[in-house]
Each structure stands twice: as structure tokens, then as C-alpha cells.
Amino acid sequence: MTQTLLTTPLTQWHAGHGGRMVDFAGWSMPVQYTSIVEEHNATRNAVGMFDISHMGRLRLDGEAAGEYLDSLVTRRVVDAKPGRIRYALVTNNHGGIRDDVLVYHLQDATGGSYWLMVVNAGNREKILGWINEHPMPAGVTMSDLTMDWAMIAVQGPKALPLLQPLVEADLASMKYYTGCETKVAGHGGIVSRTGYTGEDGCELIVGANVAAQIWESLLESGCDAGAQAAGLGARDTLRLEAGMPLYGHELNEEITPLQAGLSFAVTKGKINHPGADQVFSSADDPSLPRLVGLRLEGKRVPREGYNVVSNGEQIGTVSSGTFSPTMQCPLAMAYLSPAHTDPGTKVHVDVRGSELPATVEKLPFYKREKE
Amino acid sequence: MNPQELLYAETHEWVAVAEEGGAKVATVGISDFAVEALTDLVYIQFSKSGGDSVSAGDAFGEVESVKAVSDLYSPVTGEVVAVHDKLADKLETLGDDPFGEGWMLKVKIADESSLGKLMDYDAYKKMCAEQ
């Protein structure tokens, strides 16, 4: 069965500029344009530009919209002042992760406020269904704006100086995990100090009709500074080094937020969301594996699904792995039984029949130097 | 080696056949298309060494990139007479000269019927264009 892939307002640009296009969660997206390593390094050293329009953007309006979103996620969001953004987990009735999301509380031009929830592309339909199953209070409305808006991540140490001339809001004065409505190249949009690379930077939400023009203009003005378009391949190596989980790999319906090391996104004592009891009881359950980092020597890469062993016994499974362009060694994220999760613990990964030594490491592997 | 004079497997290995000491010896590598598709190579390892026998379709090693690992398959049946172990220390050779210094394996051909299943340059180019 062939299915027509969804396209973003930038799909044509990608395909016309060497983008190697693949099916990602039903969307035609570029894995890379030049090479993953080159795009990765551009993001670490200058600027990487990512089309993330495939991510779902759901807008909620109404006085009780914040309360409603609060009832779906693990983290208190109802008290977020306009301008704040919070990372949170949508949980199922068993405390498993339905999605990891960003919840924005935004102020509009008239002084009113509304909410935005940015969800993973592969989970958008599921979350829309979940919202249907959890009726919204009277006066709250939801609209799926995914197709009306494009989303562009501009990431790297030179991202802010590149973006600032195009964006009305004063980016340097914005704190991490804040966002606001602003003008981008004269068009209404949203800018946020967020990202998925471990670098400084912003994410822009702009109208689908002006996305290509803004994208090209940023690439052109950032060319001398080393700005590059970067694909999903580099996005994956960057987020892995930065210790950020990826849904479908580190996160799924069977894993609770605390197993995944996301306690910062779970508000203590908050019990108004589905599966809250199980989320909290998973904290001390010795039968549940925990997410850790693994660092290996040499060149061979532990890939998703490979077994992690200790003294001949399987103690866990790799959830993501790559050869780190920044650290120049193989890195992996893995779920291990709790007895083996202390940093420094020596384990082995079965890499296609060879047991290679690995050391447990606290995530993230990479932290940018802050000025 | 002139890519237009080589034979190709569906799995992107190329083969050059030459007479050496009365026997037919196949030199095997991977095509520029394969190297380009893999990109960001980090590692190569050969699981066969001189003296090993190999059948067409057998894996003789693996090549690892940032994104994925791929097996390397022998397109011919015979006895391995040489393995290009030094390639591991100069992986860039694969990008610079995939049809020459990027060779991987030499096999003394025992059964020439495996050659009949390989494509010529034009057929291979056509297959790549469709991928």
C-alpha cells in the first residue's frame, strides 16, 4: 500500500536543495542535505536550520483552557504566566507516555491569552483522539493549526545574531523556555527560546505561506556565518548528545516519565492527570528499567534494540545509539535494570555478536558552554 | 578501474575480473553510489580473511556510518586471496577512489555462474536511478 506523504511548506525547497527525503511519521522530510556530520557540526559551531513543521500545533482557547491542559499532563501548567513554555508528558491511564509535548501560554495582541500544545508528528492523531476522549470544559475550543503554520528551529551559538534582524522581539532578553507573538520578517508569528539540539537558539512558528521566504532569507544572511540547513539525521545525533529523549525510542506507552529520567517534568503531588498513581509508584519500583547513557570506545555503534549485558546476563536494551560527531566515540541511550544504573558502572553491549565494553554515564553527554 | 567495465550486484558491490596465474580473480568493492548513500562512514570491518571460502551472497564484512550499519556481500563464489585491511585506517579512500584504492576483497573464482547474475554498468545505473 502506498500512502501519500504529508508535505510541509518547505518540502519543495528541501527536495530542490539536495535533501534526501524519507517518510518520517507520514511526512516527507529531509534526513540530510550534505552529510549528517557536517550539519551536526554547523549546529554546534554556527547555526543549523531545521524544518520542524511536521510537529503538531494545537491551539486551545477559553478561560479554562489552561486547566484543561493541566488535566492531561504530568507537569503543572495552569500556573504558567503568559510567555512561559513548559515541557510535559501526556500520560495514559497506566502512567505510560502518550507523548512528550511543549505547552505554551501566549499573550495575543489584544492582551488576552491562549495556549498552544506542540506534539510529535507521529502522535498528533493520537493526541487529537485523546482530547476527544477527554471532553473539554464549556467555553474551551481547540484548533489544529499544524497545516496553517510552518515551524523552523534555528539552533547554534550564532542563532540569535542571525535571527534578531528578522524578528521584532528582543531575543537576548528572552529567557530559556519563554515565547511570544512577534513579527517575523514583517509577518505575524511566534518565537520561542526552545530547541532540541543542546544549543542556544529559537524556534519560529510562521504562516505556511511565508515560510519558504523566511527560510531562504535566513539561510542567505547566515551563509557567511556558517549557517546550514540541517536534516533529521543531525537532529537525532544532536539530541542524543544532549541527552534528550525521542518518542518511539526512549519514550512509549509502556514507559513512565520517571523511568525515562524526566522527573523535572513531573510535578510532585499533582494527581489530576491520567495514570498519576502509576507515574509516582514507578519511582521506586525495582522491576522497572531506567534510562541511562552509555559511552563506548572504538568505532562500532550500539544500535536500537541491541542487548546490554553484565556477567553474561541481559540487563537492558539500547534505545538509541550513534557515533557522536562531537565526542568522536559511540554513544547510546539504554534502559537498564536499576541495579546497574550508577554512573561509572561497567557493562557490555552485544554489537552484532561482539560484547563491547561500555560505561554507564549520567545524561546528558553534551552540555554547551554558557557565556 | 573504469566503472563502465565492471559488473555490479544489487547490493551495490562492484566486481572486476582478471586472469592471475591461470585463475580468474575477482576484485570487489562498493560503488560510488553506495558510498554516497552511506555518507559519514566511521568504521569498516572484514569478517573474512585470506584462505576463507566465500559463496556469492555471503557477508564478508560490515561498514558503519553515523546513521546505520550495512553488511558487505560477496558477489562471487570462491576462495578469498586478499582483504584490504588497511582500508579501516583510511576510510576516506572509499569516497576518493571507490573503484580503485577503495577495493575491499579479492576472490579466486571457483564457480563462474555467480558472475552471470551480476549487472553491467548500464543496468546498474538504471537500478540506482530508480532508488
- Which residue ranges form the domains of chain A, and what is each CATH number? 11-53+147-241 (3.30.1360.120), 58-129 (3.30.70.1400), 289-361 (2.40.30.110)
Let me know how long chain B is. 131
List CB contacts (< 8 A) between B62 and chain A: 352
Question: Strand, helix or coil at B45?
Answer: strand
- Tell me the domain boundaries of chain B: 3-114
The pLDDT, as a whole number, for residue B20 is 87
Beta bridge partners of B19: B24
**C-alpha–C-alpha distance, residues A76 and A93, integer Å:** 18
Distance of CA B90 to the CA centre of its chain: 17
Mean pLDDT (10-residue bins), chain A, 371 residues: 84 97 96 97 98 98 98 98 98 98 96 97 98 97 98 98 97 97 97 98 98 97 96 98 98 98 97 96 94 96 97 97 97 97 98 96 93 61
Q: Do A37 and B66 touch (CB under 8 A)?
A: yes
Phi-psi region of B51 (alpha: psi -120 to 50; beta: other; left: phi over 0): left
What stretches in chain B show pLDDT beneath 50? none
Pairing assessment for the beta strands A56-61 and A141-144 based on DSSP bridges: antiparallel
Q: What is the CATH number of domain B3-114?
A: 2.40.50.100
Is some CB atom of chain B closer than 8 A to the CB atom of A31? yes
Is some CB atom of chain B closer than 8 A to the CB atom of A306? no
Calculate how close chain A gets to B43, using CA atoms only, in Å.
6
The pLDDT, as a whole number, for residue A1 is 46
ipTM of the complex: 0.87
Q: Do A36 and B67 touch (CB under 8 A)?
A: yes
